[in-house]
Structure 1
């Protein structure tokens, strides 16, 4: 059987290893496994969300409200934009898929950072587009602009804070960069971890309303999978000029968000205290990782997310250490597939992090 040739050079995206698989492969009891690989909120989600969703379980037999009016209105109020500027996706990665299918085609060029979210490239290859990458590990907008001038890409992806490294750009640098980009080039600002960045450095915060008012070619992406603790509900969103949103709606399948997901995301957005608690805990525990890295003489990328990237240098092997941790029930992300000898570790609870430090110290 012959399939689309665009699929030949696409690597399957590897999500963090699930707890259930570790139980089967290593015979470790579920209670003894700590998953610090997928950047989930260690506090779970808001108790208000759990209570509310449990009350509407009987609605599972019914299709969700496809207008998504409550969630869109809540997001429009949060960012002070019109609800027509908002599109909801099954995770922000579904919105990324819409964007690439709406703008790119065979032979298009898509510009992104050398190390960044893998789905940008995977979706680009779905349509036969050429991927252009920077040489720098962290986002260097001067290099981005140079490649933009040389390659004339249809789409530019800026991931800030960046996954899987954790670095972030000052908002002003992004604003200055956008001033130099022509109006027909789509610029995607992927801000999945912005809630964590803001508490650490206010200069990272992007004014979404001003962004889309000044730049009709820019879309801002957010998600409920991180700070809001709803990774299992799969809800993301994009905010942009209505011309972009209208084109994306032509690609959106009906009922792409479940009834329970819509309810959970809407309520989660309203529980600001839970988010504040989550990001405060994250920042507190991040300082422990920074101290640990210094003590162990490991380079660590300054992170504005809910994870840290530990660069292991030439004397240590990220795959070996990740596997050693896995055999002890500790799941982290090996970044060797990104051609970087490093492990990415989600910042967990105080107890989870202490266990990580103890195990890694043994293996190092």
Structure 2
């Protein structure tokens, strides 16, 4: 069978291994498995969200509210913006796809960092958009501007904090960069981990209201999959000026957000105690990973998200590390697909992190 030739250039996105797979392959009890691979919140969803889901589950025979009125109202109040500046997606990555739809035309180009969220390139290739990458793994905005001047891309992706590395740009540096970009170039600020960045360092936090008031060509992406722990319901959002939102809505499929996601996201947004607890967990546990890395002479990347990346260099092969941990019931992320001999670990609960340290120490002792 003949398929779109553009697919020949696309590699499947590598997701974190599910717990069910580890159960099947290694016969480990599900309760003994720790998943630290996909940057999920180990605390689970807010109780307010769970209660809302229980109350709404009997209405699954009905289509969801396609206007998402209640959730948009909650988000507009949260960010002090108009509901007209919002679009919802089945995960924020669906909004990346929408952006590709509306900014893809002959000879389109998309600019991104050398090492960043893989879906930017996958969507670009799907639409026949040429991808331009900086030479630096991190977001070097001088390099970005140099490539921008050279290639004049129709889209620029800034992932801050950056997945899978964890580094984060200062807000003022981002704004100075945006000041130099033509108004016809769509700049996507992927803020999937912005709640953590702002909690760790207020110089890193980007306020979407300030962003769209100042720039007409920018869209900010947020998600409920990370700090709000709704990854299983797949819901994200984009914030931009009306012109951009109106264009994106033309390619948004009807009822793209399910009923349970709508109510769970709304209630999660109201639960400030839960949010603070989730952020505080990462802030308290992240230093333990830094200390572990230092004590074992492992290079690590300072992170402003809910994960940390260990660079293994010649110490060990990342795939062997991941396999060893997997056999012990611990799932982490191998970064070989990013051409890095590195592992990315989601910050878990205190007991989960202690078990990771214990098992990884046993591996290191064998070297």
- Per the alignment, residue 349 of structure 2 pairs with 349
Q: What is the alpha-carbon distance in structure 2 between the residues aligned to residue 141 and residue 337 of structure 1? A: 24
Where structure 1 has 5 or more consecutive residues not aligned to the other structure, the ranges are: none
Residue pair 1:106, 1:127 contacting (<8 A) in 2 also:
no
Alpha-carbon distance in structure 2 between the residues aligned to 1:157 and 1:52 = 34
Query: Does residue 1:232 correspond to 2:220, yes or no?
Result: no
Q: Which position in structure 1 is the counterpart of 2:212?
A: 212
1:144 matched to which residue of 2? 144
Partner Cα distance (1:30, 1:134) in 2: 41
Q: Please name the residue that 1:269 is paired with.
A: 269
**Conserved 8 A contact 1:192-1:223:** yes
Deviations 1:181-227 (A, max 9, x none): 00000000000001111111000111211211111100000000000
Give the secondary-structure state (helix, strand or coil) at the position aligned to 2:309.
strand
Following superposition, the deviation at residue 107 of structure 1 comes to: 2.7
Shift in Å at residue 105 of structure 1? Answer: 3.1
Aligned to 2:27: 27
Partner of residue 255, structure 2: 255
Moved beyond 4 Å, runs of 4+: none
Distance 1:175 1:215 in 2: 9
Alpha-carbon shift at residue 14 of structure 1 (Å): 1.4
1:2-81 alignment, distance < 5 Å: 2-81=2-81
> Could you tell which deviates more after superposition, 316-325 or 98-107?
98-107
SS at match of 1:146: helix
2:60 match: secondary structure: helix
Partner of 2:243: 243
User: Counterpart in 1 of 2:127?
Assistant: 127
Q: Which moved more, 1:207-216 or 1:227-236?
A: 207-216
Inter-partner Cα distance in structure 1 for 2:121 and 2:349? 33
Aligned counterpart, 1:153: 153
Which residue is equivalent to 1:328? 328
- Residue 32 of structure 1: CA displacement? 1.1
CA distance in 2, matches of 1:86, 1:52: 22
Comparing 335-344 and 309-318, the one that deviates more: 309-318
CA deviation profile, 1:321-353 (whole Å, cap 9, x unmatched): 011100111000000110011000000000000
Partner of 1:302: 302
The residue matched to 1:188 in structure 2 has which SS? strand
Alignment of 1:64-103 (within 5 A): 64-103=64-103
Residue deviations 1:131-165 (CA, integer Å, cap 9, x gap) = 10011111100000000000111100000000000
Unaligned 5+ segments in structure 2 are none
Tell me which moved more, 308-317 or 188-197.
308-317
Match of 1:312 in 2: 312
- Secondary structure of the 2:97 match is helix
| Deviation for aligned residue 1:82 | 0.5
Tell me if 1:362 matches 2:362. Answer: yes
Aligned residues: 364
What is the deviation of 1:108? 1.2
1:107 aligns with 2:111: no
RMSD: 0.7
- How far apart are the structure 1 equivalents of 2:102 and 2:195? 28
Q: 1:84-139: per-residue Cα shift (whole Å, max 9, x none)?
A: 00000000000000001110234311000000000000000011111100111111
The separation in 1 between residues aligned to 2:356 and 2:314, in whole angstroms, is 21
- TM-score of the two chains, using structure 1 as the length reference: 0.99
